[in-house]
Structures are given as structure tokens and as C-alpha cells.
Amino acid sequence: MTWNRPSQDCPVEIALAAISGRWATLVLRDLMHGPRSFSQLREGLPSLSAKVLTERLDSLVAQGLVSCSRSPGFPVRTSYELTPAGMLLRPLLVQLYRTGEALLGELAQH
Amino acid sequence: MTWNRPSQDCPVEIALAAISGRWATLVLRDLMHGPRSFSQLREGLPSLSAKVLTERLDSLVAQGLVSCSRSPGFPVRTSYELTPAGMLLRPLLVQLYRTGEALLGELAQH
DNA sequence: CAGGATCCTAAAAGATACTG
DNA sequence: CAGTATCTTTTAGGATCCTG
């Protein structure tokens, strides 16, 4: 099936939603390396504000790509982790990188 | 090399720029099938306004992914066509589709 | 530690009407 | 035919300060 407008049912849009938004691919890259706490993610991405990080994570959780667990006690510790669905994004991130490299090479010729 | 913030130098961001913006992947899909005039693109995507189509095309041309030629005479005819660089986006679109399908399958399980 | 609450600005998208 | 010009609305992103 094909579409003549952006639709949430189109697989392309589903995949796009997962990697959309500033910082999204960088957050995902970090999570590809294993579970991370909120602070760990912030340390790795110092210029990313708490608000935007929260937005990205909420979105990923809502899409079923990331899960979050909280340690009991105080202070709280969180652990964000890719779900099986989230791991399916790895080939897409790889392809984004490869395509970008190819474009840099091709465009450098002229 | 890796990055700790979104940078125009990162290959991932280069590739992302090419497919970013509403309707972008749909316009690219059309162009993957061959050269298209402005009107042909509008016919294929009836809900896309002339303004946004112009923005998408200008952006693709500016990135060196699409070229535009105008017929002499009147009325003018345009022909938008993927450049060699633009054709490099095909595997990325395929991967977006495949990943979306995989996500739909995985998320349907639960 | 892990966010939530506000406020603000800028960019993106859409509607409508018009032009070379 | 192939756009441009305006205007309005929506959305995203960032800054700052506050809380369980």
C-alpha cells in the first residue's frame, strides 16, 4: 500500500516518528550501548536541557521503544532501556550514518 | 568521530536533513520514480500546498539532492529530478519502510 | 536524583489570494 | 504552468526556577 499524505499508518512515518526531534538520534545512540539513568544521559549530552530530554524519553516510552524503571528509596534512580522494539532501530541508525557518509563523499566531488 | 550535540558535520544529521520536514519522504518517493514537474508532484500529493512543496523542493535543491530545469517558452514547464547524490537516499527510504514494518509487527505482539 | 512548571522565541505548516 | 506573498496557527525548542 502507498499513501498520498503523511499518515500514522505508513511504516515510513512510524519509523520517522521514532527518530524525529532534535537530539533524538543522540539519545538513542546512548541507549544502544545499554541502560542509562536520566543523569547519565545528561552527562553524555551536556547541552541538552532536562525539559527536552524528558520530552524525548516520554515520546520513546509512549511509542514502546524504551522502558523506564525506578529504584525504590531515596534518592530515586531511573534506568531507561531499549525495549525489543527499540532495538529494531539499530539498522536504521546505521543506515542514516552510511547514507550521510555517502552524501558527504558524493557532494565533495563537485 | 562521535558527537555530543546535533552538528551539521555528523553524517547522521546530513542524512536526517534530507528527509526532514512534513511531506519530504513522499516527495522523494515520487522523484524516485523519475523526473516530475511541479504540477505532477501536486497531483500525486493533493493535500500538499504549493507553498510547502516549494519549500521542500528548494531545500532539496539547496542540498544538492535534486536538480531543476525549466523549459523555454510559455507556459513554463519544470522538471525536478534526483541528482546522483539524491539517488543515494533510496536505501535510506527502504530502511525507513522496513524498520516501520518491523516495529508494527513487534508492537502488535503486545 | 529525576524531573515538573512556566514563560518565551522561533521556526514550521497551512489557508488564501495573487503574479510572471 | 509554476510559483510568490501574506497572514495565522501550531509546534518545537530552550531558559529558568522549583519540587517529590
Are the CB atoms for A67 and A83 separated by under 8 Å?
A: yes
Give the pLDDT score at B90.
Answer: 98
Q: Which residues contact A92 (CB under 8 A, 6 or more apart)?
A: A15, A18, A19, B95, B96, B99
Give the pLDDT score at B91.
Answer: 98
* Rounded alpha-carbon distances, angstroms, from residue B4 to A42, B10, B14, B98: 10, 10, 16, 28
Tally the C-alpha atoms within 13 A of residue A63's C-alpha that lie toward its C-beta. 26
Domain A11-109 has CATH 1.10.10.10: yes
Taking the C-alpha atoms of residue A81 and residue A90, their distance in angstroms, rounded to an integer, is: 14
B4, B8, B10, B12: best to mutate for the A interface, most A CBs within 10 A:
B12
Taking the C-alpha atoms of residue A102 and residue A98, their distance in angstroms, rounded to an integer, is: 6
Each of the 110 residues of chain B gets a pLDDT tens digit; together they read: 899 999 999 999 999 999 999 999 999 999 999 999 999 999 999 999 999 999 999 999 999 999 999 998 888 999 999 999 999 999 999 999 999 999 999 988 87
Q: What are the sequence ranges of the domains in chain B? A: 11-109
Residue of chain A with shortest Cα separation from B3 = A26
A76 closest-nt by C1' vs CA: C1
Helix (H, G, I), strand (E, B) or coil at B22: coil
Whether omega before A75 lies within 30 degrees of 0, making that bond cis, reads yes
Are the CB atoms for A12 and A20 separated by under 8 Å?
A: no
This prediction has a pTM of 0.96
pLDDT tens digits for range B13-43: 999 999 999 999 999 999 999 999 999 999 9
Give the pLDDT score at A72.
Answer: 87
pLDDT tens digits for range A2-55: 999 999 999 999 999 999 999 999 999 999 999 999 999 999 999 999 999 999
